[in-house]
Amino acid sequence: MGLFAFLKSKFGKKPAEEGKKPEAEKQDESLKTYEKGLAKSRKAFASRLDELSKRYAKVNGDYFEELEQILIESDVGVELSIRLIEELLDKSEREKIYEPKEINDALVDLMFVDYATKGDSIENEIRFASEGPTVLLVVGVNGVGKTTSIAKLAYRYLNKGKKVMLVAGDTFRAGAVEQLKIWAGRLNCPIVTGEENSDPASVAFNGARYAKENGIDLMIVDTAGRQQTKANLMQELGKISRVIGKEIPGAPHEAFLIIDGTTGQNGVLQAKAFKEVTDLTGIVITKMDGTSKGGIILSIRDELGVPVRFMGLGERMEDLQEFDLDKYLYGLLLGSE
Ligand X SMILES: Nc1nc2c(ncn2[C@@H]2O[C@H](COP(=O)(O)OP(=O)(O)OP(=O)(O)O)[C@@H](O)[C@H]2O)c(=O)[nH]1
Q: What residues line the site for ligand X (CB under 6 A)?
A: 140, 142-148, 170, 173, 176, 225, 286-287, 289-290, 312, 314-315, 319
Choose the one of ligand X, Mg ion, none that binds residue 295, judging by a C-beta under 5 to 8 angstroms depending on kind. none
Q: Which is nearer to ligand X, 245 or 290 (CB)?
A: 290
Q: Which is nearer to ligand X, 145 or 267 (CB)?
A: 145
Scanning 23-31, 139-147, 299-307, 323-331 for contacts with Mg ion by CB under 5 A, the matching segment is 139-147
* Cis before 252? omega within 30: yes
Choose the one of ligand X, Mg ion, none that binds residue 287, judging by a C-beta under 5 to 8 angstroms depending on kind. ligand X
Choose the one of Mg ion, ligand X, none that binds residue 105, judging by a C-beta under 5 to 8 angstroms depending on kind. none
Of 152, 142, 153, 150, nearest to 167 by C-alpha is 150
Residue with smallest beta-carbon separation from Mg ion = 147
Q: Does 287 sit near Mg ion (CB under 5 A)?
A: no
Q: Which is nearer to Mg ion, 146 or 226 (CB)?
A: 146
Q: Which is nearer to ligand X, 93 or 315 (CB)?
A: 315
CB of residue 144 vs Mg ion: minimum separation in angstroms?
Answer: 9
Q: Which is nearer to ligand X, 146 or 301 (CB)?
A: 146
What lies within 8 Å, CB to CB, of 211 at 6+ separation is: 133, 135, 165, 219, 248
Interface characters, 141-160, with Mg ion (x: CB under 5 A): -----xx-------------
Choose the one of ligand X, Mg ion, none that binds residue 40, judging by a C-beta under 5 to 8 angstroms depending on kind. none
CB of residue 67 vs ligand X: minimum separation in angstroms?
Answer: 29
CA atoms of 176 and 196, how far apart (whole Å): 9
Subset of 199-258 contacting Mg ion (CB under 5 A): none
Q: Does 278 sit near Mg ion (CB under 5 A)?
A: no
CB of residue 287 vs ligand X: minimum separation in angstroms?
Answer: 4
User: Interface with Mg ion by CB under 5 A: which residues?
Assistant: 146-147
